[in-house]
Amino acid sequence: MVYQKTKGNPFFTTQFLKALHEEGWIQFQPELGYWQCDLASVRQLALTDGVVEFMALQLQKLPVETQEVLKLAACIGNQFDLKKAKAATAYETASKYFTAGLAALPENGWEHHYNLTLALYTEAAEIEYLTAHFEQAEQLSEIVLQHAQDLLQKVKMYEIKIYFYIAQNQMLAAIDICLQVLEFLSEPLFKEPPWS
């Protein structure tokens, strides 16, 4: 029956058996030392014969956030891996923690807790960019740029801004930020050659 449903595909076989186990249709009997299955009941299940249909049903059982990440992964293609899917979920959680951290800061955080406030705002801006919350990332980055006391701290924020402009396919905005940073660092890059 497994071969009939999976056509011998090793990946599909594993997923099929795993689904049967998760649904309680097959169970390991430790006292007997083997797996047990009521084949008659399993055959009566409305199980699909198609690999794609079966996997689609399995994907629908995943949390909505994971399904959304997998939709994006399908668009990205073979450059996507499981570590990115896990990281995306972690970014959403991190975003919630940074938001809570920012809310807990006192009003005078920039004056009395500068390093902590700078770190929270910088990390929060980066996480918002990584979760494609570009408006929030922009707002947080502007706050950091207004309060950062050191040019190198500002450069880190400009770097994040460059990445989130690139992620939004706003290449000219990203280039403009690069030019601004080079000018701040006294290394201007001219749009036109100086000898023209």
Is-contact 52 72, C-beta < 8 A? no
- Is the per-residue pLDDT at 145 higher than 90? yes
- Is the per-residue pLDDT at 160 higher than 60? yes
For the chain, how are helix, strand and coil distributed in percent, rounded to 5?
70, 5, 25
Q: What pLDDT, on a 0 to 100 scale, did the predictor assign at position 148?
A: 93
The structure tokens 């009395």 sit at 112
Is-contact 124 164, C-beta < 8 A? no
The structure tokens 């402009």 sit at 165
How many whole angstroms separate alpha carbon 181 and alpha carbon 187? Answer: 8
Show the tokens assigned to 94.
Answer: 């991190």
Amino acid residing at 52: V
Residues 14-38 pLDDT 10s: 777 777 777 787 888 888 888 888 7
Q: Cβ–Cβ contacts within 10 Å for residue 139, how many? A: 13
pTM of model > 0.85: no
Residues 70-121 pLDDT 10s: 666 565 555 555 566 556 667 887 888 888 888 888 888 899 889 888 988 9
H runs (alpha helix) in 23-81:
39-44, 51-59, 64-76
Q: What percent of the chain has pLDDT over 70?
A: 73
How many whole angstroms separate alpha carbon 110 and alpha carbon 39? Answer: 67
